[in-house]
Amino acid sequence: MISKAINSLKKGNMVLLYDSDRREGETDIVMPAHATTPKHVALMRRDAGGLICIAIHPIAAKRLKLPFMSDLLKHANGFELGDLIEKPGDISYDLSSSFSLWVNHRKTFTGITDIDRALTINEISKAVQSSLNGETVDFGREFRSPGHVPLLRAASNLLGDRKGQTELSIALADMSHITPAMVLCEMLDDKTGKALSKNDAKLYSKNHDLIFLEGKEIVEAYKTF
């Protein structure tokens, strides 16, 4: 299934990724940021309903000077945020979240439309690839924050540090030899108000001819990558 997922991602297609029963227990729609169109954004907000984010490779995040949001808040001069700032133990399934900045590309209008979000997503992918190519990227000249596209900074050692959707999707990008900037959106269930069940996510994948992967498959495959 990994090889099929890799081939699908190389073509710019979506796959479904379930993390694990012991983590969030959620399935995300995942696809390459460079291939994301307004129609993809519309599909994710309509069929998935979660937060449309971009996972970024840790080396690119460092070169682009993208902080973890929790670190940024700790240094918010003049604001007494106290217990509001995330700390170990706040998240039951992990030590910390991957959130970085929320941005819009400077060519967008409001930033929230399908067209605007797709533009921001595409341009972030270009910035990631340029940074990995050793080029200097003036991120502030290209983007502004706050915005409508959340950035997720993958852990430094990827799956060696953390096995969240962020790291799993970047590991998939590495194995697919595509730009390691991946769009993620959690699949939610409007009937139960919870995450879409694994069985229903599998049914969706079957009905829409999409590959369904479990995190443990990626973890095993990445060991020999």
CA atoms within 13 A on the CB side of 150: 15
Please tell me the distance from the alpha carbon of residue 61 to that of residue 212, in angstroms, as a whole number. Answer: 28
Catalytic residue among 28, 123, 167, 214: 28
Report how far residue 99's alpha carbon sits from residue 168's, in angstroms, rounded to the nearest whole number.
Answer: 15
**Looking at this protein, which amino acid is placed at residue 34?**
H
Residue 186 is among the residues annotated as catalytic for this protein: yes
Indicate which residue of 104, 167, 204, 214 is catalytic.
Answer: 104
Q: Is 86 a catalytic residue?
A: no
Q: Which of 7, 93, 135, 220 is catalytic?
A: 93
DSSP 39-91: HHHHHIIIIIBS--EEEE-HHHHHHTTPPPHHHHHHT-TT---GGGS--TTSS
Q: Is 53 designated active site? A: yes
Taking CA atoms, 28 is separated from 1, 140, 162, in Å, by: 17, 29, 17
Catalytic residue among 47, 148, 200, 217: 148
Identified catalytic residue from 57, 186, 214, 222:
186
Burial 139-165 (b: 16+ CB within 10 A, else e): beebbeeebbbbbbbbbeebbeebbbb
Query: Active-site residue 135, yes or no?
Result: no
**28 part of the active site:** yes
The residue from 18, 24, 26, 53 that is catalytic is 53
Residue 75 among the catalytic residues: no
Residues marked active site are found at: 28, 53, 93, 104, 148, 186
